[in-house]
Amino acid sequence: MFNFFKKSAKSTDLSLYAMTEGCLKAITAVDDEVFSTKMMGDGFAIEPQSDDIFAPGAGEVTSVFPTKHAITFKLTNGAEILLHMGLDTVELAGAPFDVLVKEGDQVTAETPVAKMDRKAIEDDGKGTDVIIVVTNTDQFQLPEIPAKDVQQGEEIGAIKEK
């Protein structure tokens, strides 16, 4: 009769979106053990076909790494997200990245957050995968991630509260 104690699906579900265009793949397929073994959390990656990187969903920028290769977000449902650009790119000291947001900025999947120079990254012998990790997977779970080509802004799936 009354659903006072029932969780609202709208408050606990939130879609994640492709941060760039390219080939979507499971995090276990990333050529980096820290990510592929889910040491930092569960997620997915995109082998980018564009240098433009957008937010993965609606929320707030919580930090921008000094080396510009990573940005963290807290989504509106409380999920904590790490967006990591490239593999072993911390060693590049920010050179191939132009971050367009700062801590405290509100974002949506339409918000450009960075530009990465894929050619410069490849020229340094680094991978260009753009990776999303949900770092608080004790509270949230991701949908199954099928390998497929995606466009920036395409819905990947809904993250759900456990």
Q: Which of 25, 68, 69, 84 is catalytic?
A: 84
Query: Does the annotation count 69 as an active-site position?
Result: no
54: region left, alpha or beta (phi > 0 left; psi from -120 to 50 alpha): beta
Q: Burial letters for 120-141: b for 16+ Cβ neighbours within 10 Å, e otherwise? A: bbeeeebbbbbbbbbbebebbe
Catalytic residues: 84
